[in-house]
């Protein structure tokens, strides 16, 4: 039998580190290991009852057929209304597309616009999939480190320095995975001032965590802070994180109609359309009572406060409190160079994460997100799990010498 030879685009990328870490934790638990899994980036809450009932009602009503490629009109109207409430921007229905999760929309946006070495600026720390999505579509990721001293946020001067004639996109993710960093209106305006000088640069704003925000009011979107740039901003969001609907696989994008049309053309050949049942449920999520969102965010805030306090009491590590999302990006520089009880040296954050796994805590190393020495913990889990993980991390750090 002939050997399979993968296409070059497959060879250019690697599997998602977060997915791989979660799978490793599941495998160890299935094998009987006592592991506190802090890798999973999905809410531990159940989908709201009214949203589940909407999906069930769609099945019973026979709403189980193909929909338009870019989503039902009902869902796109709900998205347009939600975006107008949150950003002040009015999007016509042909400027909105719906796909099988925000991840698919991001990939299709890059597929529709990037090739032949086009450059995409990606601030680090970044969500693990951004660079590989760019590489898969023949683009060049341009990684711009953003330090903890700067709040893990992109500075205008760093953006200016990264732009070249080949720059196609800036990817801006806020609130951020993995840091929870969020930009103020003034900070977004400063970035917009740079972009005004470079009209060939478009901005892909990933706002999947915009509801999970711990500040006053609401998280500010770039399209709200700089509406004059709306003709080159593509906003991506979805229902997975805010409504605990990760498995329903509904994401959406809004922006220039020509880009949306290109995405729709690609989707027509890839998946035909998103799930009709999931779209019905997502419509109810966006249009219905929003108390679930407020209640879950209040729970995440309490978990954040607990975890940050516990972690900052551990010698060798430190943690800046995130302003959004449900992750902690923990600084472990204080343990680098130390030795584990078995004699191995903790040379980097990957070594430390592997050591923590031996101590019963599954985390993801900072290098996977483009910045070391850190590790990411998800707080989308119970206080009991957070306390147990912190107990084990404390014991692990105390055992280093």
Q: Domains of the chain, with CATH numbers?
A: 8-46+292-398 (3.90.1150.10), 49-287 (3.40.640.10)
Share of the chain above pLDDT 70, in %: 100
pLDDT band at 22 (very low <50, low <70, confident <90, very high): confident
Is residue 128 pLDDT above 80, yes or no?
A: yes
Is residue 375 pLDDT above 90, yes or no?
A: yes
pLDDT band at 380 (very low <50, low <70, confident <90, very high): very high
- What mean pLDDT is predicted for residues 163-190? 98
- What mean pLDDT is predicted for residues 240-261? 98
pTM of the model: 0.95
Cβ contacts of 212 within 8 Å, gap of 6 or more: 175, 241, 242, 296, 297, 300, 324, 325, 326
Q: What's the DSSP call for residue 345?
A: B
CA atoms within 13 A on the CB side of 339: 5
- What mean pLDDT is predicted for residues 264-268? 97
Q: Cα–Cα distance between 305 and 327 in angstroms, integer?
A: 12
Q: How many residues in total does the chain contain?
A: 401
Tokens 């430190």 locate to 318
Q: Are strands 327-331 and 374-378 parallel, antiparallel or unpaired?
A: antiparallel
Rounded mean pLDDT of the chain?
A: 96
Q: Cα–Cα distance between 300 and 380 in angstroms, integer?
A: 7
Q: Cα–Cα distance between 185 and 226 in angstroms, integer?
A: 9
- In order of 54, 76, 106, 373, the CA distances from 132 in angstroms are 35, 29, 12, 21
């Amino acid at each position: 039998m002939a050997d399979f030879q993968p296409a070059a685009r497959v060879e250019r990328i690697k599997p998602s580190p977060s997915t791989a870490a979660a799978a490793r934790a599941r495998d160890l638990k299935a094998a009987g290991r006592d592991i506190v899994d802090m890798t999973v980036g999905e809410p531990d809450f159940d989908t709201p009852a009214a949203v589940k009932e909407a999906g069930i009602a769609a099945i019973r009503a026979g709403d189980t057929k193909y929909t338009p490629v870019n989503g039902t009109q009902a869902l796109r109207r709900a998205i347009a209304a939600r975006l107008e409430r949150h950003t002040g921007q009015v999007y016509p229905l042909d400027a909105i597309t719906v796909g099988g999760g925000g991840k698919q929309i991001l990939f299709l946006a890059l597929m529709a616009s990037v090739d032949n070495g086009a450059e995409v600026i990606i601030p680090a720390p970044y969500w693990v999939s951004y660079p590989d999505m760019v590489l898969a579509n023949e683009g060049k990721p341009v990684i711009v480190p953003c330090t903890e001293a700067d709040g893990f946020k992109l500075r205008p001067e760093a953006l200016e320095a990264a732009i070249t004639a080949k720059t196609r996109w800036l990817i801006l993710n806020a609130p951020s995975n993995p840091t929870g960093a969020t930009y103020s209106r003034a900070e977004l305006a400063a970035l917009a001032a740079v972009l005004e000088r470079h009209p060939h640069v478009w901005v892909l704003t990933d706002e999947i965590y915009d509801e999970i925000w711990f500040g006053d009011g609401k998280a500010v979107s770039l399209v709200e802070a700089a509406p004059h740039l709306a003709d080159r901003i593509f906003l991506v969001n979805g229902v997975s994180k805010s409504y605990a609907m990760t498995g329903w696989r509904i994401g959406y994008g809004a922006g220039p109609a020509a880009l949306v049309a290109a995405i729709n053309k690609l989707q027509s050949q890839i998946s035909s359309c998103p799930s009709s049942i999931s779209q019905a449920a997502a419509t109810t999520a966006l249009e219905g009572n929003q108390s679930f969102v407020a209640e879950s965010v209040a729970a995440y805030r309490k978990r954040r406060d607990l975890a940050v306090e516990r972690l900052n009491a551990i010698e060798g590590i430190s943690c800046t409190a995130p302003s959004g999302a449900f992750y902690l990006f923990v600084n472990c520089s204080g343990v680098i160079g130390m030795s584990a009880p078995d004699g191995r040296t903790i040379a980097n954050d990957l070594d430390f994460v592997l050591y923590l796994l031996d101590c019963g805590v599954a985390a993801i190393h900072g290098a996977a997100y483009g910045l070391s020495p850190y590790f990411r913990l998800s707080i989308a889990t119970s206080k009991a799990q957070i306390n147990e993980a912190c107990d084990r991390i404390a014991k692990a750090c105390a055992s280093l010498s």
